[in-house]
């Protein structure tokens, strides 16, 4: 596959908002280049969806093999972030306890507020590295998606070219 058009997207059942984004950027269609694949990711276009609809089985296999490590890293970072989020919920529960203590007495409030600040600082400290890893993994995955789609499209184009019957 060398080129994608808005008509191809519509015919394949793409969401209207995806078609509108694509058509706004590439009114006459787009050649499948690494630059265009990366731009599609920037625009929020779903290249995973496009890979499933436009790449034949050999191209999809190349694509899936290429994105698998990035997806695994993304899932790992996501799990780490979710653990940090659980720590936040624990810190938030500690804050609620501190708030109730404040309502009972000003002296108890002072002590509970210090505990909340400590829990919040621990949460921020625990969350920051996981969030950074999560963001890096997502960015790496998106780059891998663009590269994989481009490479798979090249493979498909080569296969089509190799199997095309010569014209008389």
CA distances (Å), 23 to each of 12, 58, 142, in order?
A: 15, 28, 21
* pLDDT tens digits, one per residue of 81-115: 999 999 999 999 988 888 888 888 888 778 888 98
pLDDT at res. 96: 87
Tokens of 160: 């089509």
Q: How far apart are CA 52 and CA 55, in angstroms?
A: 6
pLDDT at res. 161: 87
pLDDT at res. 19: 97
Closest among 36, 35, 16, 41 to 26, alpha carbons compared = 36
| Mean pLDDT of successive 10-residue stretches along the chain, which has 168 residues | 93 97 97 97 96 93 93 94 92 87 80 87 88 90 91 90 83
pLDDT at res. 105: 82
- For 5, the enclosing helix (H) or strand (E) is none
Provide the 10 A C-beta neighbour count for residue 134. Answer: 21
**For residue 25, what are the contacts with CB-CB under 8 A and spacing of at least 6?**
39, 40, 43
């Amino acid at each position: 596959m060398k080129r994608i058009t808005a008509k191809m997207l519509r015919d394949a059942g793409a969401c209207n908002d995806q078609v509108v984004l694509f058509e706004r950027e590439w009114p006459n269609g787009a050649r499948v280049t690494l630059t265009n694949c990366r731009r599609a990711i920037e625009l929020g276009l779903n290249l995973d969806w496009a890979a499933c609809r436009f790449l034949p089985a050999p191209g999809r296999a190349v694509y899936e093999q290429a994105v698998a490590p990035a997806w695994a890293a993304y899932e790992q970072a996501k799990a780490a972030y979710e653990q940090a989020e659980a720590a936040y919920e624990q810190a938030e529960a500690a804050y609620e306890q501190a708030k109730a203590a404040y309502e009972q007495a000003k002296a108890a409030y002072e002590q509970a507020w210090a505990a909340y600040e400590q829990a919040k600082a621990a949460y921020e400290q625990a969350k920051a590295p996981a969030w950074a890893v999560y963001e890096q993994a997502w960015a790496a995955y998106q780059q891998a998606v663009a590269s994989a789609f481009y490479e798979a499209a090249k493979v498909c184009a080569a296969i089509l070219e190799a199997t095309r019957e010569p014209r008389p």
